[in-house]
Amino acid sequence: MAQSPNLILIGMPGVGKSTVGVLLAKAASREFVDIDVWIQSREGRRLQDIIDAVGMEAFRALEERSVLALAVQNAVIATGGSVVYSEAAMRHLKTGGVAIHLDLALPLLEKRLTNLDSRGVVRTPSQSLAELYAERQPLYRRHADVAIDCAGKTHEEVVEEILKIVEDRMRNAECGMRNKV
- Domain presence at residue 29: yes
| Count of CB atoms situated within 10 Å of the CB of 105 | 11
Q: Are 81 and 30 in contact, with CB atoms under 8 Å apart?
A: no
- Domain presence at residue 17: yes
Q: Which amino acid does the sequence have at 35? A: I
- Domain presence at residue 1: no
- Domain presence at residue 15: yes
The count of structural domains within the chain is 1
Domain that residue 117 falls in? 6-180
Q: Which amino acid does the sequence have at 154? A: T
- Domain presence at residue 167: yes
pTM: 0.91
- Domain presence at residue 23: yes
Per-residue CA distances from 166 to 57, 120, 160 (Å)? 34, 30, 10
Residue 176: per-residue pLDDT: 60
Q: Are 167 and 146 in contact, with CB atoms under 8 Å apart?
A: no
- Domain presence at residue 36: yes
CATH of the domain at 97: 3.40.50.300
Residue 181: per-residue pLDDT: 44
Q: Along the 181 residues of the chain, how does pLDDT read in single tens digits?
A: 356 889 999 999 999 999 999 999 999 999 999 999 999 999 999 999 999 999 999 999 999 999 999 999 999 999 999 999 999 999 999 998 999 999 999 999 999 887 777 677 888 888 899 999 999 999 999 999 999 999 999 999 999 999 999 888 777 766 665 554 4
Residue 85: per-residue pLDDT: 95
Q: Provide DSSP, the chain.
A: -PPPPEEEEE--TTSSHHHHHHHHHHHHT-EEEEHHHHHHHHHTS-HHHHHHHH-HHHHHHHHHHHHHH---SSEEEEPPTTGGG-HHHHHHHHTTEEEEEEE--HHHHHHH-S-TTTTT--S-TT--HHHHHHHHHHHHHHH-SEEEE-TT--HHHHHHHHHHHHHHHHHHHHHHHHHH-
